[in-house]
Structure formats: C-alpha cells, structure tokens
Amino acid sequence: MSESYEAWRAIDGAGDHPTNENWGKTDALEVRLTDADADAYGGLAGGDRPNPRAISNVVSRQAEDTATDAGFSDMLWSWGQFVDHDLDLTGEGEEAAPIAVPQGDPEFDPFGTGEATIGFHRSNHTDIGGERAYGNEITSFLDASMVYGSSEDQHAAIRGDGGKMLLDDDGFLPKDSAGQYMGGDVRSGENVGLTSLHTVFAREHNRIVDELADRDPDLSDDALYTLARRVVETEIQKITYDEFLPKILGEGALGDYAGFDADVNPTISVEFSTAAFRFGHTLLSPTIQRLAENGGDAADALELREAFFNPAAFAETGVDPILRGLADGKSQAYDPMLVEDVRSFLFGAPGQGGFDLASLNIQRGRDHGLQSYNDMREALGLDRKASFAEISSNPDIAARLEEAYGDVDLIDAWVGGLAEDSFGGGLVGELFHLIIADQFERVRAGDKFWGENNPLPDVAQGIGLNSLSEIVKANTNIEALQDDIFLSYDRQGGGDGDDWIIGSQDRDLLTGGDGDDGLFGRDHDDHLEGGKGD
C-alpha cells in the first residue's frame, strides 16, 4: 500500500522536467537575463570601474547600528540565507584574482605597505564560445535541498533509520570530519542562525514521520521519508511565498499560481545569484542575541564575527535562545552599507584570513561578467539613471556613490541595486525587485513537483504547519512567539513572582511567568501570552 508514496523528485533534480532534463538539476548552467559584459570573455568585467575595496570603504562602510525603521526581525535575513542555500551554490576554482587593498587601508593595510590584498578565487566555469558559464552545484528548485541534499552522497550522509533524519541525542545535526554541523547543504554550519534553522527543519521532518507512523503503522521507511520530505518542501514553499517574499517584493508582486508550465526554465539566473539575492547582506546585524523565554539573556549576545563556523557557540545554548534572539532583534536598514563584522572581519580578522563581503560581492559580479548597474537596467527594460540622486533619494547614499564612482555608468550592479529606493511596497529597489520576482516566478512555474501542483495523499493531509512561527514552536521549547516571525517583537516576560509587564512604544511580545501577572500592551500590535499563573 505504501509503494505509491515512495516515488518523488530525484535528489539531484535529474529528470524533474519532462522535456528538458537539465533544467534546474544539480550542476545545470545558470542562465543569463542580460548579456555578459564585453570585458568578461575570459577576464573580469568592468575594467574601467574603481577598485572594489576602495568602493567598499566609501559606499559600504557603516559607522553605527542602523536598525530598520520597517521593523523587520533578524529572522528575515536568516531565512533569506536559508532559502538561498536551497537555490544556488557556485564553487571556486584555482584561478586567483586577488583584490588590491588601497595603501593605508585602516583595516587591511594599517602600516601603509601598499602591498596588501584580499584573497579571491574565480568561480568554477565552463567555456561556451569564449564566454564563461557557471554551474549551480545544487538544484535550482525550491525543493528543501538544504535539508535533504542535492547529491546522493550528501543525502545518504544525513538520512537516519526509520524514515528519519540523523540527529544526535541532543536533537542536534550530525557533524562532519571537521567538526561542523552537517545538513543538506555544505554551508549548514556557516553561522549559528543558519544552523538553528537547519536543526529545526530536520526535527520537523522527524516530527512528521512520527505522526505519519501513528496514522499508518504499515508505511515503509521509504514511504515515511518521502512523505515527510514532501510535507517539508510544501512548508518551506509556503513560508517563502506567503510570509517572506511579500516583505521583500511587496504584497501581490507575484501572481497567483497557475500550475506547471513546461515552457518555463526554473534554472537560477546569474543576475539573481550574483547580485539581487545578495541583498540580505546589508540587513545583517552586528550581534545575534541569545534570549531566555522571559526576554533576559540566556547567554551573552554573539558578535556576528564570532557566529561563523562556530559549533561551540551553537552548542553552548542550543537552538532556542538563538531563534528567540533572531525573532526579537531588528535587522539593519536596507542600503549599500554593511556592518564591519562582515565588511572587514568576515571569517577572521584582517590579515588573519578575514574578508570584506562588500568587496567580494563586487569582485564576484565582475568575475561572473555582470554588466554595470545602468547597462543591466537598460537590458532588462528599465530606464537608465542619469544622476546619482536619481538612484537614491538619500543624499548621503547618493554622495557616497558619486565619491566612489564619479560616473553613474560605472556603478556595479550589486552596489547600485542596494542603493535604490524601495519599490512596489517591498524592501528592495526596482532592479532587484524585477530580478527576484522573475526568479521566483520561474522556480514555481517550472517545477512539476511544486507542492500546489501535487496535493498530498490523505495520510499526510493536515500534518504540515502553516507558518515558520508554528514550526519553530513545534520543534523547540519556545512557548511564546509572535505569529509573524519576520517582524521584530521586543520580548519581555515575568519571573516566578507576581509581575506587571508593560509594553514599549514598539511591537512587544509579553509573556507571563508562574505568578499572577498583569500584561499591558501599548501603541503597536502586541502579542500577549499568559504563563502558569492568573
């Protein structure tokens, strides 16, 4: 009876498309929405553009905390990274293209040698008519590959017995030979927030398996695994399209689902992976809070620079305090600026393995042959910008662009896209809005296994949860959480005694403790949740 439940999409996406077997599969070559820059036929694009680190020092340097006025939580960028790791990964090769550091750079050349560089290796590529094409090392589908893998080897390494995912006795992911937490994507241990989401969805898979087994004890291990995988895929699709993308693109930016379209190629575009979907880097906060249920510190907040590839920091508190912190903390403002933790201290200190994420993004765009900002706009049917002030209504941002580039036609696509004013009721500007909307329309329409196109069998109906908040609560000991986890709520709670808990002028998550507590919200939409007392 369970045999019919075991057939589902291939782990590597092979054969998922009925007529174009390479579309969307692991190692498919990314498509281009615009032609490659003329300089990019073997070389780096933008030979006349300024030095990446010099641009970063002027445009991307952020001197202070710039918490967003939009009220988005740190979970917004964390989920964006989680989804990105479901969609694209381009590996690096041996060819070096180091980024020259301006002489006297305060972080990377403090002694003024003029010889410092930031390490950079060009992406693996295939030559097609002299032009470099880039293979996506994971599937392009929104198929939960970051949970299950995009290759049989990765898949086998994380699957357990009884249809479940491998977890240790603490409910944590298994570790690889280097001691890093291991999920379906090789970047699962990149930072503690990402590891927390990977852990939650592995637990969610196992929760679903347990419920399926209760409903039908005759289901085989493979049937349990496949059905749970289908449910998790559908949950991730729903969260992304119903909760996440409306904040990025605005409500209604994507049309209603119209079913599978065999003429639509879901493969990731170079413009999406190399520019537009890197918008989240500007939202990164300088710290990740680790909060107790009542809003107090479960452990000291982690500086973002300490959160990368740090399994010990994750294990110190486990999932719950990190996810409470991501739901509570406000993301940074949307602009071309990055916190110093990633602009100078990414993966280490300057001169000790550290990188500048802004410089890397600029250089990667040139490595992948991206046209300049204005050329890309024109190629996509948008108007060119005649002045820096036309790009951003913020005088400081416009002035930074002018100082760094001097000519509006030299701006790199990633920088210009981040500098644009928000568009269409969403977070990102017009250029990134177009590219991101295009990609998510194609990912959905070009996937014959899309959840809405494949109703779950009766045995699995009603098992899936409806929001990220529900999934987090179902798989942790977090009791109180706002319904929309992508909006920041200030967590405050009572202790064991009788407490009066009064909200702030912002959105609040107020929780009672064991005593008889009074909870009072104020001006914003607050979430009030009682404890064990009255």
Query: pLDDT of the chain along its 534 residues, tens only?
Result: 344 687 899 999 998 888 899 999 999 999 999 999 976 677 899 999 999 999 999 999 998 888 888 899 999 999 999 999 999 999 999 999 999 999 999 999 999 999 999 999 999 999 988 889 999 999 999 999 999 999 999 999 999 999 999 999 999 999 999 999 999 999 999 999 999 999 999 999 999 999 999 999 999 999 999 999 999 999 999 999 999 999 999 999 999 999 999 999 999 999 999 999 999 999 999 999 999 998 999 999 999 999 999 999 999 999 999 999 999 999 999 999 999 999 988 766 555 557 899 999 999 999 999 999 999 999 999 999 999 999 999 999 999 999 999 999 999 999 999 999 999 999 999 999 999 999 999 999 999 999 999 999 999 999 999 999 999 999 999 999 999 999 998 866 655 543 434 445 565 565 655 554 444 444 555 444 555 554
Residue 527 lies in a domain: yes
Distance CA 389, CA 368 (A): 28
Q: What angle do CA 99, 101, 103 make, to 5 degrees?
A: 155
Return the number of other C-beta atoms located less than 10 Å from residue 316's C-beta: 16
Residue 324 lies in a domain: no
| pLDDT score of 38 | 74
Domain that holds residue 513: 500-534
Residues listed for the chain: 534
For the chain, the domain total comes to: 1
Distance CA 19, CA 263 (A): 9
Q: What angle do CA 242, 247, 253 make, to 5 degrees?
A: 70
Q: Read off the pTM.
A: 0.92
| pLDDT score of 16 | 86
Distance CA 345, CA 342 (A): 5
Residue 505 lies in a domain: yes
| pLDDT score of 491 | 67
At residue 159, the 3 state secondary structure works out as: strand
Helix (H) or strand (E) holding 223: helix 221-238
Structure tokens at 360: 């890397």
Distance CA 389, CA 396 (A): 10
Residue 297 lies in a domain: no
Structure tokens at 211: 């419920």
Q: Which residues participate in catalysis according to the annotation?
A: 85
Bridge partners of residue 502, in order along the sequence: 520
Residue 523 lies in a domain: yes
Residue 209 lies in a domain: no
Q: Is the C-alpha dihedral spanning 384, 390, 392, 397 positive or negative?
A: positive
Residue 476 lies in a domain: no
Residue 507 lies in a domain: yes
